[in-house]
Amino acid sequence: MMREWWRDAVVYEVYVRSFADSDGDGVGDLEGIRSRLPHLVSLGVDAVWLTPFYPSPMADHGYDVADYCDVEPLFGDLPAFDRLLAEAHEQGLRVIVDVVPNHTSSAHEWFREALADPTSPARSRYVFRDGRGDGSLPPNNWQSVFGGDAWTRVPDGQWYLHMFDEGQPDLDWDNREVHEEFLRILRFWLDRGVDGFRIDVAHSLYKNPAMDDARDPLPGEDPGDVTSAHVWDREEVLAVYEEWRALLDGYTPDRMLVGEVFLFDVPRIARYVSDERLHQAFNFTVMRTEWDAPALRTTLREALAHFSPGTWVLSNHDLVRHVTRYGGGSLGRRRGLAVSALLFALPGSPYLYQGEELGLDEAQVPRDRKQDPWFLRTAGANPGRDGCRTPIPWDSAAPGLGFTTGEPWLPFGEDAAALAVDRQLTDSASTLHAYRRLLSVRRALLDEGLPDEVAELATAPDVLAYRRGPLVAVLNTAAEPVQVELPGAVLLEATAEGAAVAAGIVTVPAAATVWLRA
């Protein structure tokens, strides 16, 4: 039997607003993405994940969906999507689209109907409740992820739940009509030819039906974390994905579902993945692990024990870019590239966020330019996610750095021009070239038939080494080069200069990974 494509796929996340702007309005769009598909092909990725491009008031930049079966005019239209999908397929790229089932936009026709008529069936599709006391207090003390109460009162006196922005009312998944609507939405895009779905907040949907208060937070504890036990990872949600999986399996066998299960308990994440549920769930534990060999070793052991194969995530549109987390600048790029190279060698599917291949740092966005509701709702107490969402620099000499001919919706980071695609293409030592080489070697080895089994090799405390068939990957987290004994090994690729093999001894530069053929 042919191996499913998603098991090994390198998936590239396109944050639509910030990838490429074709019409000069400062906001990325579908035609812009289509024009840059050759970059993704030459990089060596297998699939593209598009963040939401549906009609939206943009309260949360597209994750507040007003119509799940159309395209936001800011980004194009359905024919533009069809052109992008067709051309991506022609160039050998799969296309995954985002689906947002936890909430809609407050501009969605269902919610507008629910507000207009309290007796409408549409109201039962959302989580509306009476207030406490005389009705002037929220139904409970739950807190929004974005800060503040998770409840907003409407003119007739009831309150609606929104675990994110008030423009994102939560759906009530105890209502069968909600299930049927999302099955319809999935069919719409499957019939159009998409290859899979990334499911936003996949561990939510169902809420504690008792609607009782969350406990009081401990000193220094985020009230939103206390609320989480009432709204995340309830057992009922697994049946939703069994229903969705049955739908996808009725199409061609190569469609897939990947869930944003934002938990750090690996066994609980693993519950979402099976032959009857999701094909994949994001594993964010590596993202949370510091630059430290013992810590990385523990994280990888747990992931490899529970997922076969799994996913590897270092950055995305919600996370501080990993170059910054690893120290920033050239040090962060060196460390980030080293960890990426180690993950590329392991079984599973790496998910790259646009700009990783350029080694972009988190941008420092001025307060008056920030747009993230997380920043706005907390009055700046949370820095928000704008810093990881700034536009991609394509051309260091062009106005708008090749992203746009207009004013970009967010400013570029300080390193943008120096790390632009055009400059890195002419520098064989650039991060971009390193990613290209690594993914090319990885593809060649997979075509030979790399197994899913991996063995951890005994090494020095600051070194991690894994063998997967003929491939051996060695990461050195120390500040000095280390030597590892690997008789018969041949150097395939290295993320830093100074790697060498002589008389069965491998020299691994500081903060670097080497790949060898055993």
Q: Per-residue pLDDT for 458 more than 90?
A: no
Q: What are the tens digits of pLDDT across the range 488-497?
A: 999 999 999 9
Mean pLDDT in the chain? Answer: 96
Residue-wise pLDDT tens digits, 266-275: 999 999 999 9
pLDDT of residue 369: 97
pLDDT digits 0-9 by tens, 169-219: 999 999 999 999 999 999 999 999 999 999 999 999 999 999 999 998 888
Phi-psi region of 26 (alpha: psi -120 to 50; beta: other; left: phi over 0): left
C-alpha–C-alpha distance, residues 273 and 161, integer Å: 28
Q: Where does 331-442 show beta strands of DSSP type E?
A: 348-353
Angle between helices 176-192 and 78-90 (to 10 degrees): 60
Q: What is the mean pLDDT of residues 112-117?
A: 98
Beta strand 471-476 pairing with 512-517: antiparallel
Q: 97: closest CA among 8, 16, 6?
A: 16
* Token representation of residue 460: 């020095």
Three-state secondary-structure class, residue 246:
helix
Statement: residue 93 has pLDDT above 80: yes
CA 466 – CA 457 distance, rounded (Å) = 6
Which amino acid, one-letter code, is at 434? A
In 42-193, where do the E strands start and end?
47-50, 94-99, 128-129, 151-153, 159-161
Are 29 and 74 a contacting pair, CB within 8 Å?
yes
Sole residue written with tokens 């907040």: 201
Q: If DSSP states are collapsed to H, E and C, what string results for 154-175? A: CCCCCEEECCCCCCCCEECCCC
432-461: average pLDDT: 96
Strand 482-485 versus strand 505-508 pairing type: antiparallel
CA distance 482 to 462: 9
Residue 80 and residue 88 in contact, taking contact as beta carbons nearer than 8 Å: no
CA atoms of 416 and 401, how far apart (whole Å):
8
Q: With 60 as the cut, is the pLDDT of residue 1 above it?
A: no
Residue 125: predicted pLDDT: 98
Residue 216, pLDDT score: 87
Q: What amino acid occupies position 251?
A: Y
Query: Which of 200, 233, 415, 493 is the catalytic position?
Result: 200
Task: Output b/e per residue, 419-447; b: 16+ Cβ within 10 A.
Answer: bbbebbeeeeebbbebbbbbbebbeebee
Q: Are strands 310-313 and 11-14 parallel, antiparallel or unpaired?
A: unpaired
Q: What is the pLDDT of residues 31-48, one digit of tens each?
A: 999 999 999 999 999 999
Segment 323-357, tens digit of pLDDT: 999 999 999 999 999 999 999 999 999 999 999 99
Report the pLDDT value the prediction gives residue 449, as an integer from 0 to 100.
93
Residue 31: which of 65, 82, 94 has the closest Cα? 82
Q: How many angstroms separate the CA atoms of 496 and 433, rounded? A: 12
**DSSP code string of 53-95:** -SS---TTTTSS-S-TTS--TTT--HHHHHHHHHHHHHTT-EE
Catalytic residue among 260, 361, 362, 415: 260
For the CA atoms of 272, 243, 175, 201, the dihedral, rounded to the nearest 10 degrees, stands at 30
Q: What is the pLDDT of residues 67-84, one digit of tens each?
A: 999 999 999 999 999 999
Q: How far apart are CA 190 and CA 250, in angstroms?
A: 11
Residue 79, classed as helix, strand or coil, is helix
Paired residues of 338 in beta bridges: none
Whether 200 sits among the annotated catalytic residues: the reply is yes
pLDDT-above-90 percentage for the chain: 95
CB 251 within 8 A of CB 190: yes
Between CA 245 and CA 274 the distance in angstroms is: 10
DSSP per position, 88-103: HHHTT-EEEEEE--SB
All domains of the chain in start order, with CATH? 5-105+174-434 (3.20.20.80), 453-517 (2.60.40.1180)
Nearest Cα to 102, choosing from 214, 210, 207, 223? 207
Q: Which two tokens stand for residue 197?
A: 């779905």
Q: How many CB atoms lie within 10 A of CB 127?
A: 25
Q: Rounded to an integer, what distance in angstroms lies between the CA atom of residue 259 and that of residue 471?
A: 29
Q: Residue 260 catalytic? A: yes
CA distance 412 to 400: 9
